[in-house]
Amino acid sequence: MERSEGGRLAPGLWVVATPIGNLGDLGRRAVETLAAADAVVCEDSRVTGMLLHRLGIERPLLVYNDHSAPRLRPELLRRLREGQALALVSDAGTPTISDPGYRLVREALDAGVTVRAVPGPCAPIAALSIAGLPTDRFLFAGFLPPRRAARRRELADLAGIRATLVLLESGARLAALLADAAELLGEREAVIAREITKLHEELRRGRLAELAAAVAAAPPPKGEIVVLIGPPARSPAEALAPAALDAALLEAAARLPPGRAAREVAAATGRPADELFRRLQELRRGATARVR
Ligand code: SAM
């Protein structure tokens, strides 16, 4: 691990991910960083105190949440400028991702403090990695507003985005979110990832409208949930004929290296970039097969 002379943890802000359910997911570097930090900056001292206790680590805890942040941030920045090593954690997962810490990180960077990541669990990324939806472009939108009108406005904004949408939601509001999404985003694939890495881990896949109906018909699901919604289907105008696709690829390849040409046409047409890259190579070799 990165240590300064004398074996201490190097000064700076260490942003440390912690498990989202299964303690076995805590990496060795995370444990070493927590054990060696001058203090651990956490959202809730009971949650982090319990984690450190289970690891046999005793470090001072400083509670940094939406309530205490404005008061505590200057004190944390002072400690960092003085050369302390502070570890930032949240209750679970990666700090700053729908969790406190963004302004602390930003102000630490602005103050010339070294900020390092100790990466690890992150519920939206874990859900995306197992959802079976396209991962080449995704948009993490966190929790949408709980009020219906504001939520629907946000969904309408997201409707035109050609990417898998990754949202967080509580069991109590899941049915309302899915109903609005089915109405405003149209026919799409969706996945509900619940209790990832925990005993009752569950993945439900289906069309958005089907999932919305199924969730509405049952009691609200318990536990923690990530909702993923696949990108919109391509409009007929964008579904280029093979010859037009070849022409677009060759035109882009005349200006750009092959990888960038394939990515540019992929972004414009919704076709997978790797498929287009292979087709470009075929075209360059003079093959006649068409991308289907
Ligand atoms: N920073 C955290 C991370 O990196 O995972 C996310 C914090 S956000 C406040 C907490 C939300 O993430 C939960 O309400 C739930 O929507 C989702 N979440 C957390 N743990 C989860 C799990 N094990 N399975 C599914 N969703 C989870």
Residues 95-145: tens digit of each pLDDT: 999 999 999 999 999 999 999 999 999 999 999 999 999 999 999 999 999
Our mutation pick for probing the ligand 1 site, out of 97, 144, 225, 227, counting the most ligand atoms within 8 A of Cβ, is 225
Would you identify the CATH topology of the domain 124-235? 3.30.950
Evaluate: CB of 166 within 6 angstroms of ligand 1: no
CA separation (Å) from 280 to 1, 157, 259, 264, 270?
44, 34, 9, 12, 16
186 versus 113: which is more confidently predicted? 113
Q: Which two tokens stand for residue 163?
A: 């990417």
Tell me if 19 CB under 6 Å of ligand 1: no
What are the distances in angstroms from CA 256 to CA 249, 260, 269, 275? 10, 6, 17, 17
CA distance to 254, 264, 266, per residue, from 283 (Å): 13, 17, 16
Mean pLDDT along residues 162-174: 98
Is residue 11 over pLDDT 70? yes
Average the pLDDT over each of 30-34, 68-72, 184-188, 235-239 and give the range with the smallest value. Answer: 235-239
Helices (H), 56-110: 69-81, 102-110
Q: For residues 59 and 94, what is the distance between their CA atoms, to the nearest angstrom? A: 20
Query: Does residue 194 surpass a pLDDT of 50?
Result: yes
Tell me what pLDDT residue 285 has: 84
- Interval 160-164 mean pLDDT: 95
User: Which residue bears the tokens 């100790």?
Assistant: 118
Task: Please give the span between the terminal C-alpha atoms of the chain, in angstroms, as a whole number.
Answer: 50
State whether the beta carbon of 195 lies less than 6 angstroms from ligand 1: yes
Indicate the CATH number for domain 5-121. Answer: 3.40.1010.10
The verdict on the CB of residue 96 being under 6 Å from ligand 1 is no
125 in ligand 1 pocket by Cβ < 6 Å? no
Per-chain mean pLDDT for the chain: 92
CB of 18 sitting under 6 A from ligand 1 = no
Phi, psi of 74, rounded to the nearest 5 degrees: -60, -35
Ligand 1 within 6 A of CB of 21: yes
Instruction: Provide, rounded to the nearest whole percent, the portion of the chain with pLDDT above 90.
Output: 76
Rounded mean pLDDT of 183-196? Answer: 96
**If you measure from the C-alpha of residue 53 to the centroid of ligand 1, how many angstroms do you get, rounded to a whole number?**
22
